[in-house]
Structure 1
Amino acid sequence: MTSPLPEPQPNVVLKKMQAPVHAVSPVLAARHPAERLRMMARRLSALAWRCILAALLGLPLAAPMHSVAAADEAPLRFGILPLGGAFESRNDWDPILADLSRAVGRPVSVLSVNSYEALEQAIQRDQVDMAFLSGKMALDAVTQRRMNVVAQVTRHDGLPGYRALLLTRKTGPRTTLKGLLAEPERWRLARGESRSVSGFIVPQLQLFLPNHIVMETRFASEVVGTHQATALAVANGEADVATNNTADFERFRLQFPAEAERLQVIWESELIPHAQIVVRRDYSPAFQKKVQAFLVDYARGKGQRGDAERAVLKSLHDLAGFVPADNTSLLPAAKLAYQLARQSAMTSQWVNEAARQARLQRIESGYADQLAALRGSAP
């Protein structure tokens, strides 16, 4: 089986939606012009070194004489899931992030990446203050990386979630679910990364493992990529079956109508809860409430402004808006992760039964800790 494609490096775009303004102090203005120039040069030099040090260490920049102002002006770093591509995702989010910048009174910078792994690493390095995440990544951000859920997306269909899909070509030798389950080793798979809920976790849990098929090892070959990439791989004959989801496949139909016409859905999962917006706990409860209020009110107004905001959300996978949410909205994601871990432990090969039972006990303990953290009872 071929190895997954190498992970691309993250594309980081620091696009400030609101530039800070720096005024010259009255004391400096009263000095001789030459002295003012020397003092300004020294201050600029010191500021430059602070900027370099902050960038190298991944720390927020703080000026010693104006710490409150500097904190207010520090960019809010927003991380985006790579649903289509890094550039496409960033462009889709730019309008709403510009509005967010004005609402909270500080600049917003964008971290747009090409893989789930790159975004997860950025969160682990504390390079993300706020993010659009789903499933396992949102769960890890809350239980391991000091973040809180403030909102959850909604869609126009009114459903509380979306579904994972399996796609094949309409014509050819491999087009049926029965054939896939009977001889997976003859099929070429295009799937999402292991952190992707609809691209890996749910198909593995709800379809493949119950049929004694491990996605990573049973197929003739595999391609790992975004939902757009997996659908294109099947449409272009580079793979036989692809994981996807209802929201992304709708978007794919609009962007690639000719390729979408070659594809069919052979399997659908149960409903998967929608993605969440998370914010780092280092920000005050008042600031988190401010962000939540902006998101919940977005696209709910009337007139031209409301129409423009609704158009922005429509470009974001046809979203209808945001609803208030907290960490308990991740309980379904925790259950999914628990079920997958348990199912994998039950079907895997072990040295002896004691080793299997030890693994199952760790899974149960970890799940209990997650539930406590999400419900707010963890220390």
Structure 2
Amino acid sequence: MLRKLLSIALASLACTAAHAADPEINFGVISTESAANLKADWQPVLEDMEKKTGYKIKAFFANDYAGIIEAMRFNKVQMAWMGNKSAMEAVDRANGEVFAQMTYADGSPGYWSLLVTHKDSVYKTLDDVLKRGKEINYGAGDPNSTSGTLVPGYYLYALNGIDPKTHYKAMRVGNHESNLMATAAKQVDVAITNTEVWEKFQKREADKAKNIQILWKSPLIAADPMVWRNDLSPDMKAKVKAFFLTYGRGDSADAKRELANMNKLTFGNFNESSNKQLVPFRQLELFKDKAKLDNDDRMDPAAKQAKLAEINKKLAELQAQIASAK
């Protein structure tokens, strides 16, 4: 009897040890919306990923983009859906590497940043916002958001000689969904969001969406990247990449179900990608810094020229990368 009990105990320990050793991936999701909405939309995809790779997949949410970047830096997240700006930070600071890129359900090659207001707002045009900033409460995007900060930071503000931190009466930072909610409730006068979340918002909050007016639409933003930690094992990378590049492709019932999962996220299939995807956004960040310097009349001329020379050098290096890739 004792031998039998010992055998059962050893078998149980072996099973526990084996379970503990099962490969596990914490999958980060940037906070474009509430965690509840993101979890509901991503969970079917992550469950399919778990079945097809054999890895245990856990969703990881944070209150802001920096939380996902830092989690990857400390290996609490091994893989994440990110925007191009947050992917730049992950590559530079968190041992990240781009391996795939989204496409869009409607066939669009990318998405757009939007500046919105309430339909009853006294601010009817972009010109009103640019000229009357000191009256306006502004709903800003996450500092690490491509469409919330980087793109409007250049096209909307730097090109107009404006620093949003000083231009507006008050500024509050939110995700794309909360900015739409705040605008619809007249808690802010204008706010930044993007077309990805705006599309979902019109379906989920149809009554509130009727109160939103779009004042500005950015140039096209390339579709979001998928990022993993560069130190994942080659076997894990191969299985994960195979999952994403085949997900939702084909005519089978399973493929159609998978594509429907992605469409709920406003996405289509995935294509292979790399860190080269980030080069145009690195350029954009440097262009934004350059425009800000050009508009600064208080800076010492010699110091300004030195900083401009440094920016121009970095831009030339990025341009050389683009040329060599052709």
Matched, 1:345 2:293: yes
Q: Which among 68, 79, 82 is matched to residue 133 of structure 1?
A: 82
Q: Name the structure 1 match of 2:72.
A: 123
Q: Which among 31, 51, 59 is matched to residue 102 of structure 1?
A: 51
Q: Distance in 2 between matches of 1:351 and 1:357?
A: 10
Greater length-normalized contact order (CA 8 Å, ≥ 6 residues apart): 2
Q: Which among 333, 350, 355 is matched to residue 303 of structure 2?
A: 355
CA shift for structure 1 position 225? 0.6
Q: Distance in 2 between matches of 1:123 and 1:368?
A: 30
For structure 1, the 5+ residue unaligned runs are 1-29, 48-62
Q: Name the structure 2 match of 1:6.
A: none
Please tell me the residue identity of whatever aligns with 2:81.
Answer: F
Bigger Rg, which one: 1
Of all paired residues, the percent bearing the same amino acid is 29
The 1:375/1:136 distance shift into structure 2, 3 A limit, reads farther
Q: Which among 282, 287, 297 is matched to residue 236 of structure 2?
A: 287
- Post-superposition Cα deviations, 1:100-152, rounded to whole Å, max 9, x if no partner, equal 11222211111111211222221222211111011111112223322222210
Q: Name the structure 2 match of 1:152.
A: 101
- Aligned residues of 1:190 and 1:241 also touching (Cα < 8 A): yes
CA shift for structure 1 position 374? 9.6
- Post-superposition Cα deviations, 1:41-68, rounded to whole Å, max 9, x if no partner, equal 9x79xx9xxxxxxxxxxxxxxx7xx8xx
Please tell me the residue identity of whatever aligns with 2:220.
Answer: L
TM-score, normalised with respect to structure 2: 0.88
Q: Distance in 2 between matches of 1:361 and 1:127?
A: 39
Q: Name the structure 2 match of 1:252.
A: 201
The 1:80/1:349 distance shift into structure 2, 3 A limit, reads farther
Indicate the SS of the match to 1:270.
Answer: coil
Please tell me the residue identity of whatever aligns with 2:281.
Answer: A
Q: Distance in 2 between matches of 1:219 and 1:93?
A: 36
Indicate the SS of the match to 2:232.
Answer: coil
Please tell me the residue identity of whatever aligns with 1:274.
Answer: A
CA shift for structure 1 position 372? 8.5
The 1:306/1:342 distance shift into structure 2, 3 A limit, reads same
Q: Name the structure 1 match of 2:111.
A: 162
- Post-superposition Cα deviations, 1:287-332, rounded to whole Å, max 9, x if no partner, equal 323222211211113243123212211221x211111112212222
CA shift for structure 1 position 242? 0.9
Matched, 1:275 2:246: no
The 1:300/1:338 distance shift into structure 2, 3 A limit, reads same
What is the total number of aligned residue pairs between the two structures? 324
CA shift for structure 1 position 367? 5.5
Please tell me the residue identity of whatever aligns with 1:176.
Answer: T
Indicate the SS of the match to 2:156.
Answer: helix
- Post-superposition Cα deviations, 1:155-176, rounded to whole Å, max 9, x if no partner, equal 1332221111111122232222
The 1:126/1:358 distance shift into structure 2, 3 A limit, reads farther
Matched, 1:222 2:171: yes
Q: Distance in 2 between matches of 1:129 and 1:285?
A: 13
Q: Distance in 2 between matches of 1:370 and 1:103?
A: 38
The 1:106/1:357 distance shift into structure 2, 3 A limit, reads same
Q: Name the structure 1 match of 2:3.
A: 32
Please tell me the residue identity of whatever aligns with 1:326.
Answer: S
Indicate the SS of the match to 1:233.
Answer: helix
Q: Which among 7, 12, 27 is matched to residue 78 of structure 1?
A: 27
CA shift for structure 1 position 362? 4.3
CA shift for structure 1 position 215? 0.8
Q: Distance in 2 between matches of 1:99 and 1:169?
A: 40
